[in-house]
Amino acid sequence: MLCQTLYHIIHLIFTLTTQYDVYTEFPSLQGYTDVYIRNKDGSLNICEGLIELKYLSKKDSSKAKIEKAKNEAKEQLKNYMKDERLQANKNLRKYVVVFVGFEEFYVEEVEK
């Protein structure tokens, strides 16, 4: 539920501008990305983004489980990057976001 709400918030924010297209569940060769933020044709922006979201309940919030969720998300991003459409973008930034309950979240940029 939290991740679905976040999808809608991200989509709303980025669609208020004329510079981006936002896709939730964008199909890649290795599954569906959670959020793909792509420059619209004619956009002046340089970077685009992929965001992989994970949610853990507060009771499942041990450091080991948080790290496991981050690593799973990184592996998913790595698999999505096998898609030629995503590989073609040299300025694609990738992020992992792990939510723990409603109080905490962790954001990490994934290097190429």
* pLDDT score recorded for residue 110: 93
Instruction: Share the mean pLDDT of the chain.
Output: 83
Mean pLDDT, residues 76-99: 90
pLDDT at residue 21 greater than cutoff 60:
yes
C-alpha to C-alpha distance for 42 and 75, rounded to whole angstroms: 32
Half-sphere exposure of 65 (CA within 13 A, CB side): 11
Residue 34's SS3 state is strand
* pLDDT score recorded for residue 58: 87
Query: Per-residue confidence at 67, pLDDT binned at 50, 70, 90?
Result: very high
Domains, the chain, with CATH or none: 2-110 (3.40.1350)
